[in-house]
Amino acid sequence: MAEAQTISEIKVTDFAQRWTEQPVGLQLLDVREEQELAIAALEGFQNVPLSQFQDWSAALPTQLDPHAETYVLCHHGMRSAQMCHWLVQQGFTQVHNIAGGIDAYSSLVDPSIPRY
């Protein structure tokens, strides 16, 4: 049985600071559905809905830099954690789950982002 991997988590406040300080070179992935993005989204994130895994899973690892800082977002942090585990299995080395997702980001960083 394979040992469970520990995924790096980053608080939304720490992510916001990191994103403000050096946004260039960061890979930003949002695994939520299109209808969720219509309600609340962060600019600069590439949408790769987890429900459409079959559609993008073969191509995504070749489209991204496996050694770049990669941050993954969802609504609360569960789907993004799944994505982080998958990215690590694909050889990505700097993967970070944004803990609490866009809901926490809206509460703690930018209240202008609608909550749902």
**Annotated active-site residue in 29, 50, 74, 84:** 74
pLDDT of 1 strictly over 90:
no
Which domains are assigned to the chain? Answer: 8-108 (3.40.250.10)
3-state helix, strand, coil split of the chain in percent (to 5) is 40, 15, 45
The predicted-structure confidence for 9-33, as pLDDT tens digits, reads as follows 999 999 999 999 987 899 999 999 9
Sheet holding 70-73, edge to edge: 8-10, 95-98, 70-73, 27-30, 46-47
Token pair listed for 51: 């429900």
Distance, in Å, from the CA atom of 4 to the CA atom of 105, rounded to the nearest integer, reads: 27
43: Cβ contacts below 8 Å, ≥ 6 apart? none
SS3 label, residue 57: coil
pTM, to two decimals:
0.93
- Catalytic, 84? Answer no
